[in-house]
Chains A and B, each alone.
Chain A
Amino acid sequence: MSEAVAEKNYLNDPKGWKSWVFTLDHKRIGILYLASITAAFFLGGVFAVLIRLELLNPGQDLMGPDTYNQIFTLHGAVMIFLFIIPSIPAALGNFFLPLLIGAKDVAFPRLNLASYYIYVFGSMFAVYSIFTGAVDTGWTFYTPYSTETQTSVIPMTLGAFILGFSSIFTGLNFIVTIHKMRIPGMTWYKLPLFVWALYATAIIQVVATPVLGITLLLLIFERVFSVGIFNPDMGGDPVLFQHFFWFYSHPAVYIMILPGMGIISELIATFSHKKIFGYKAIAFSSLGIAFISFLVWGHHMFVSGQSELAAMIFSFLTFLVGIPSGIKVFNWITTLYKGQIHFDTPMLYALSFLFLFTIGGLTGIFLGALATDVHLHDTYFVVAHFHYVMMGGTVMAFLGGLHYWWPKMFGKMYNHFWSVIAMILVFVGFNVTFFSQFILGSQGMPRRYYNYLDQFQPLHAFSTIGSWILGAGFIIMAIYLIHSLFKGRKASDNPWGGLTFEWATGSPPPHHNFKVTPKMTHGPYDYDKVLVEQTDY
């Protein structure tokens, strides 16, 4: 009998498929996004495994050069545009931003749903391009090749163009939500740091994404109407394309990493049971990173024929990114110091983020240095660097956030033992896959080739084995997470002992988030003032 009168929450109230398809509830939209980006991650992951499989041995074993070019392009485009950009903001951010600020929903629920369907629509274009001769330009669509290749550049760029609108809508929605929907008493300095990070992210989404849109549109124009904008053969300037492209795509790196950093701030504070160290420094370093991110795009073009003056300016400015990033890392480490650390799965991801992101960030400094970059440009060193930032940083933070908020989202706790096993496999697999690529790159192995000299074989094989370990970790994760939905033990309202508002409501939360509107009785990290216990071990 008690089963029948199960508590009403956003998952079972209202009922019916229409209530999901036309939902305006930010939590449901977040779940829709979560399901979609997981599918995209799986697709991109399959491409990644195929790439590594081809590179297991020199020579052609699995696919020819043309197919290989298409597969690595698809891996990049799917992972960037379909997975990582919407991953944290649109899935976890959508779900938790209103909860964190004590609101009932985002400021524009309809715009929120629209952004989801625009995402689906754009993704369909991307998938369509796969079936009509998949792009082979690399995810950067560099001209002049992208104006000349016979592969389906237009559907893919159109897809990215449409996806951009989804991203802009999410950003716009979050900015207004953060300005207008906070509960009384929640001043800017009482915002959880994840909210600050989402705010900085939203600014970049709104300001930078239109430039990508217009660039891709110009590229389509050039292809369709042979207008010479980028292609020198028609009288254009190919480096101009790179300027336009990276004006968006460098800040886009911070669309990916900033929300991840926000999650890490939450995780470190909660699992250290200690007031976060340097709240304001962490908050403002998010804005600092967002601003500097607009001034450094030329570091992608050191060997593209950009002027020496521009290269020097961009190289210098690139080093500045190290300052706010360093501020964050040191503040997190100081928060850990003398904290009451609980090594639960989310925290393990947070700690691996600290380790991997630091490697990713510091190798970015190598690449920002002009002379070093000339040697390392277009080698596997670059591939390893951005995978340490994107996967070691953002994906680890995403997984940490997912495991942190999973009991809140679904009201079920996953199996701890298997979650730790999966975490270890992901961490080890990641390092095996990508640390070897730092060495490969410094030895001169160029990126984007399906073939290589025999001398690189051992490291390539090592890297491929790493991809299998990673894959095993993710498969285990999928199994225990899905298992938890059906057989998981019921999660308490506040399993980790967090102080932010999402823990003050039910797991899963009711339709309007809170039964009673929460009151601002303490700050988000006041572990020195409030006694809160971890109820789940």
Chain B
Amino acid sequence: MKAKASDHSAHILPLRIYLGVGFALFILTGITVMISFVDLGGWNVTVALAVASIKAALVVLFFMHLLYDNKIYLTIFLTAIGFLAILIIFTMFDTMERGRLYPEKAKPIKPGAAIYEREDSLSSRSVDTTKTDH
């Protein structure tokens, strides 16, 4: 039970670590803002998500003490993140890859629906002007 007592005392961190992490969070926020003015194509989202993940990791590890706590909490936290990643990535195997083998020929059920707006704006920008559904 000695380990338990030392576990708790380890919670107190020097102030400079908190300030350092806080400063890092500000810097990363600045990076997010700046990168939004640069057009990286699809990579904008990737970079923004990467920066956000680093920030979340800093908060969780230092402010929420996950780094210093019993490692089982970190394991559980990472497991949960892992399953969330599985849900999103495997779903994207579907949503990002539709119509590869057999192009989708079906007409939209409701052409004016919001889901098609992005496609419309893309097709109107593209050179191919034969695609005027409505």
Interface set of A (CB-CB < 8 Å, partner B): 207-208, 211, 228, 232-237, 239-240, 243-244, 247, 294-295, 297-298, 301, 305-310, 313-314
Q: Report the separation of the CA atoms of residues A310 and B95 in the bound assembly, to the nearest whole angstrom.
A: 9
Q: Give, as a whole number of angstroms, the nearest-CB distance from A212 to chain B.
A: 12
| Pairs A-B, 4 closest by C-beta atoms | A235-B114, A307-B97, A235-B113, A310-B94
Q: Which residues of A contact B110 (CB under 8 A)?
A: 232-235
Q: Give, as a whole number of angstroms, the nearest-CB distance from A127 to chain B.
A: 31
Q: Does B37 contact A (CB under 8 A)?
A: no
- Asked if residues A308 and B101 are in contact (CB atoms below 8 Å), the reply is yes
Summarize A's interface: helix, strand, loop or mixed.
helix
- Interchain CB contact (< 8 A) of A234 among B93, B100, B108, B113: B113
Q: Report the separation of the CA atoms of residues A305 and B106 in the bound assembly, to the nearest whole angstrom.
A: 11
Q: Report the separation of the CA atoms of residues A129 and B20 in the bound assembly, to the nearest whole angstrom.
A: 55
- Asked if residues A247 and B87 are in contact (CB atoms below 8 Å), the reply is yes
Q: Which residues of B contact A234 (CB under 8 A)?
A: 110, 113-114
- Asked if residues A233 and B94 are in contact (CB atoms below 8 Å), the reply is no
- Asked if residues A307 and B90 are in contact (CB atoms below 8 Å), the reply is no
Known A228-B114, A235-B113, A309-B100; contact A207-B83, beta-carbon cutoff 8 A = yes
- Asked if residues B115 and A306 are in contact (CB atoms below 8 Å), the reply is no
Q: Give, as a whole number of angstroms, the nearest-CB distance from B117 to chain A.
A: 8
* Chain B residue nearest in CB terms to A297: B90
- Asked if residues A298 and B94 are in contact (CB atoms below 8 Å), the reply is yes
- Asked if residues B115 and A243 are in contact (CB atoms below 8 Å), the reply is no
- Interchain CB contact (< 8 A) of A309 among B97, B102, B109: B97
Known A207-B80, A232-B110; contact A308-B115, beta-carbon cutoff 8 A = no
Q: Which residues of A contact B90 (CB under 8 A)?
A: 243, 295, 297-298, 310, 313-314
- Asked if residues A308 and B97 are in contact (CB atoms below 8 Å), the reply is yes
Q: Report the separation of the CA atoms of residues A502 and B34 in the bound assembly, to the nearest whole angstrom.
A: 65
- Asked if residues A237 and B87 are in contact (CB atoms below 8 Å), the reply is no
- Asked if residues B97 and A236 are in contact (CB atoms below 8 Å), the reply is no
Q: Give, as a whole number of angstroms, the nearest-CB distance from A301 to chain B.
A: 8
Known A232-B113, A233-B110; contact A310-B83, beta-carbon cutoff 8 A = no
- Interchain CB contact (< 8 A) of A305 among B87, B98, B108, B115: B98
- Interchain CB contact (< 8 A) of A294 among B86, B93, B96, B101: B86
Q: Report the separation of the CA atoms of residues A60 and B123 in the bound assembly, to the nearest whole angstrom.
A: 51
Q: Which residues of B contact A313 (CB under 8 A)?
A: 90, 93
Q: Give, as a whole number of angstroms, the nearest-CB distance from B99 to chain A.
A: 7
Q: Does B75 contact A (CB under 8 A)?
A: no
- Interchain CB contact (< 8 A) of B115 among A228, A298, A307: A228
Q: Does B36 contact A (CB under 8 A)?
A: no
Q: Does B79 contact A (CB under 8 A)?
A: yes
Q: Which residues of A contact B97 (CB under 8 A)?
A: 307-310
Q: Report the separation of the CA atoms of residues A307 and B96 in the bound assembly, to the nearest whole angstrom.
A: 8
- Asked if residues A307 and B113 are in contact (CB atoms below 8 Å), the reply is no
Q: Which residues of B contact A232 (CB under 8 A)?
A: 108-110, 113, 115
Q: Report the separation of the CA atoms of residues A529 and B86 in the bound assembly, to the nearest whole angstrom.
A: 45
Q: Give, as a whole number of angstroms, the nearest-CB distance from A222 to chain B.
A: 13
- Asked if residues A211 and B87 are in contact (CB atoms below 8 Å), the reply is yes
- Interchain CB contact (< 8 A) of B83 among A236, A243, A294, A298: A294
- Asked if residues A310 and B93 are in contact (CB atoms below 8 Å), the reply is yes
Q: With contacts A233-B109, A243-B94, A310-B93 known, what are 19 further pairs, Cβ within 8 A?
A: A207-B79, A208-B83, A211-B87, A232-B109, A232-B115, A233-B110, A235-B110, A235-B116, A239-B95, A240-B91, A244-B87, A294-B83, A306-B98, A307-B95, A307-B99, A307-B100, A308-B100, A308-B102, A310-B97
Most buried by B among A295, A305, A310: A310
Q: Give, as a whole number of angstroms, the nearest-CB distance from A245 to chain B.
A: 12
* Chain B residue nearest in CB terms to A236: B115
Most buried by B among A236, A298, A301, A308: A308
